[in-house]
Amino acid sequence: MIKSWLITFKNAFEGIFYAFRTQRNFKVHLVLSFLVIVLAIWLQVSLEKLLFLILAIFFGLTIEMTNTAFEKTVDLITEKYHPQAKTAKDVSAGMMLIASLGLAILGLLILLPPLWQKLFS
């Protein structure tokens, strides 16, 4: 039982490391996430707002990995160009774009007011 859990976690970490090694956007997301957390701490945002930011970060990384998994699955099914494969990949990329825009808006709504106050008060 413990061995199966260890294998499960090993496989999960392999997936995370794969995303980190191969996906430029995953790396960008991690760097921006680190900067957001540092900025939030510097601005002394409330614990509730910090929790929203952390949840948003994990959600964004999860969607990024979902997009990667989806694209790799499509590549496994067909290596040739196919309009439906393109549509599937485009929709997956669009999912990531919508999530990123929503998460960016959330981050701005949380961080912009205290940043404005700190810089201009």
88, 52 contact by CB (below 8 A): no
SS3 content of the chain, % helix, strand, coil (to 5): 90, 0, 10
Residue 71 catalytic? no
Burial 74-89 (b: 16+ CB within 10 A, else e): beeeeeeeeeebeebe
Residue of 48, 64, 71, 79 with catalytic role: 64
- Please give the Cα distance from 48 to 29 (Å, whole number): 22
* Residues annotated catalytic, as ranges: 64
